[in-house]
Structure 1
């Protein structure tokens, strides 16, 4: 059975949609495609590939806890995986842009970080088999 449905965008909530969108613009080299007072859509520059991201202001936003430490913690609903060529350099750049490294780092070829709103995301690099 065929469907005309297509996933177009991943939306992240934050206390300030514009602030979080600006972080991901710097991190990914994306451009603003649309914006409203409480919502921003960013994506790759025209002619390049990639997934669009949107950000929505949610006044009652509570950052997730990763890894979950105790019952009742706000659980992570999803995370972004961002492939990079140079893991150490891109980790340093992400931190300079406002990310913070997670306390727990589960793999050598992945760096788990938290964006300024507290969403976990992973920088990863392909390692030779």
Structure 2
């Protein structure tokens, strides 16, 4: 990382001191919308082994592992993307040690497996609201 910062600073010396003085940010929470925020929170909590830690009325719930949180909101006019035709605004990449066991568990929890699988090394599943996410082995992320 330091080499990358130094390369950027060398290319633009006027910003060098500002870049180095900037604090490092951490993403602590991300928000997602779907057909039912509480249902999505329960699905993802079970999928990740996390807990539903807070609810916000009838339309939203938060899950967390104690470090990172996701809030799932109910979008009353939600329409799931038509995978793979629609461009995705976002998707999650989730890794597991045992991908086959994880896929089986995720399907039991309410995920579905679309016919279109665009590559190797990962599997696309749809969460209960129809939003695609990728499932892969931990080893894909340790390079």
Shorter-normalised TM-score: what interval? 0.7 to 0.9
Q: 2:75 aligned with 1:55, yes or no?
A: no
User: Over residues 15-56 of structure 1, what are the superposed CA-to-partner deviations in whole Å (9 max), with x where a residue is unaligned?
Assistant: 211011111111111112221111111011x4xx5x321101
Match of 2:51 among 31, 35, 38: 31
Alignment of 1:65-80 (within 5 A): 65-68=82-85, 73=86, 75-80=87-92
Counterpart residue number, 1:81: 93
Counterpart residue number, 1:40: 61
Equivalenced residues, count? 120
CA RMSD of aligned residues (A): 2.1
Find the structure with the greater CA-based Rg: 2
* Structure 2 residue runs without a partner (length 5+): 1-17
TM-score by length of 2: 0.75
Question: Higher helix fraction: Structure 1 or Structure 2?
Answer: 2
TM-score by length of 1: 0.82
User: Over residues 81-120 of structure 1, what are the superposed CA-to-partner deviations in whole Å (9 max), with x where a residue is unaligned?
Assistant: 0111111111111101100012111233211000000111
User: Over residues 70-90 of structure 1, what are the superposed CA-to-partner deviations in whole Å (9 max), with x where a residue is unaligned?
Assistant: xxx5x3211000111111111
Match of 1:109 among 78, 97, 121: 121
On the 8 A contact 1:21/1:55 being kept in 2, the answer is yes
Moved over 6 A (4+): none
* Structure 1 residue runs without a partner (length 5+): none
